[in-house]
Amino acid sequence: MFDDAAKGMPCLFKSFCYILSNFTTARLESNYYIEDLLPDPKTLLTLPLLSQLSSILHDNICWEDFKQLHFYKPDSNLAEATIVANNITSVHGVAVLLVSGKIVKTGEDAIFGAFIPEPSKDGSNIQPRDEDRDDLFSCFLFELSPVHDVSWGNVGRPGWSVTGNDELCFGENGNGAALVLGKSLETASLIRNVEQQDPVFIANAWRGNGSMQLDVEAIEVWAELSPDQDKYEYD
């Protein structure tokens, strides 16, 4: 179980240092603190969720420059999966996709998404990272609630595509883990098949086979933005 937890939160203890330092008289030496980076409270990333994301991605993101770039509501005029795909591909630098909504069967809140370090390339094939640094990760899928999980990507496999039904599919539906955004962004699905053969995203055996369908409430794309790009784009 510890091994499974370590794979899902590889930077957990680094993040603990920053969290626990808030309760000491002297904070750790650093140029930033996670709680100082929170943007408009209307965004999905609250302090607990941002800390949780940091437990996976600690050294993979320049947190000082991490901002919401795109925001989508299912009932907006521009709510289309193809637009999300195009906007992700056009991001310069690291991107994070977040999907929030309620699970259809239970009504529980859920948040899941994708880490995309090479947005212009990971769609056609997931790119390798620096071989000398095992703390830098290639494209992967994650869940933040109600369960914490990570489905690591396979380098060289196509990360995502727009299907014939104009859905945006990360991974392969029915092989490993897959995240599917419906055409009009009203629904999203997270699908796991542990009976996998060379999947794009590896489904964890301890989760078993299954799927989760969401009634989407909001979708966000976050990225590393320079100061002159520090703005939101609502779609």
| Domain residue spans of the chain | 65-224
Q: 138 exposed, middle or buried (CB, 10 Å; 0-12, 13-18, 19+)?
A: buried
- Indicate if the pLDDT at residue 139 is higher than 80: yes
Residue type, 30: S
Structural tokens at position 92: 């310069």
- Residue 196, pLDDT score: 96
For the chain, report the end-to-end CA distance as a whole number of angstroms. Answer: 41
CA 196 to chain centre: 22
Q: Phi and psi dihedrals of 198, rounded to 5?
A: 45, 55
Question: Which of residues 232 and 55 earns the better pLDDT score?
Answer: 55
Residue 101 in this model has a pLDDT that exceeds 70: yes
- The one-character DSSP state at 223 is E
- Whether 127 has a pLDDT exceeding 60, the answer reads yes
What's the pLDDT at 229? 59
State residue 125's pLDDT score: 97
Q: Which amino acid is at 33?
A: Y
In this prediction, residue 133 carries a pLDDT of: 80
Residue type, 81: A
- Name the band, by pLDDT with cuts 50, 70 and 90, for residue 34: low
Q: Mean pLDDT over residues 130-135, rounded?
A: 79
Strand locations in the chain (E): 66-72, 95-103, 109-116, 140-145, 149-152, 160-162, 168-172, 175-181, 187-193, 210-224, 233-234
22, pLDDT greater than 60: no
Q: pLDDT tens across 165-207, in order?
A: 999 999 999 999 999 999 999 999 999 999 999 999 999 999 9
Beta bridge partners of 210: 192
